[in-house]
Amino acid sequence: MASLDRVKVLVLGDSGVGKSSLVHLLCHNRVLGNPSWTVGCSVDVRVHDYKEGTPEEKTYYTELWDVGGSVGSASSVKSARAVFYNAVNGLILVHDLTNKKSSQNLYRWSLEALNKDSSPSGVIVTNGDYDREQFAENQVPLLVIGTKFDQIPENKRNEVLTRTAFLAEDFNAEEINLDCTNPRYLAAGSSNAVKLSRFFDKVIEKRYFTRDGNQISGFSDRKRFGAGGFKNLHND
């Protein structure tokens, strides 16, 4: 295959929310049969047709970087993760719809990746202290994905989806809720598939069709670490 232009998208969220299962589904359109914990970072590639069906259609490689670890890790672990945050074109924030804490922690993950706060503190969505201005100037495209949709009790579904809608609004992002063990949630032509395609189109536009590329910036001041932290046990 001819060499293609590429973009880099971070996939962030707490351990156990299903990031690796999600990445496998996005890249291979198949369920990951035996997910395991991700140590360091696992990278997979999705082929995306930018502006599919139009005269501007072009194929790109989309690198999905599944970053392991916990948002509450020691500062040394956070510093080691910084190497993965260099030259990023987009963020997919993943949370478990049955685990409210994993949803709340997306604020801390995003702040860490966007270099707004080297050691973010506090779950700021539940106590009224969250300031969405922290993200007002962010130019990096974001997508919020909720997993384990099938595990939400029927009588709790409206409550959960209302809460996650506010989450996506805070990030000025679209949201997708799905079950990573069922590919039909991303079936061609579905609303989720349209949202996903729209997100990747936006990432590519920001990278290749704007003056500065709108990559995450400011990482030149971080201490650099070698790439030895890449160890792929494929999953969380």
Report the alpha-carbon distance of residue 38 to residue 152 in Å, rounded: 25
Share of the chain above pLDDT 90, in %: 62
Q: Are 142 and 90 in contact (CB under 8 A)?
A: yes
Q: Rg of the chain's alpha carbons, rounded to an integer?
A: 17
Residue 103 has a CB neighbour count (10 Å cut-off) of: 26
Task: For 175-193, write each residue's pLDDT tens digit.
Answer: 999 999 999 999 999 999 9
Instruction: Check pLDDT > 50 for residue 223.
Output: no
Per DSSP, which regions of 133-215 are E strands?
142-147, 174-177
- Copy the structure tokens of residue 2: 């001819």
- Structural domain boundaries of the chain? 6-207
Q: What is the pLDDT of residue 3?
A: 80
Q: Which amino acid is at 43?
A: V
Find, among 74, 118, 140, 120, the residue nearest to 221 by Cα: 118
The correct answer on CATH 3.40.50.300 for the domain covering 6-207 is yes
Could you give the percent of the chain with pLDDT greater than 70?
77
Among 47-56, 71-80, 92-101, 221-230, the range scoring the smallest mean pLDDT is 221-230
Q: How confident is the model at residue 89 (pLDDT cuts 50, 70, 90)?
A: very high
Q: How many C-alpha atoms does 180 have within 13 Å on its Cβ side?
A: 26
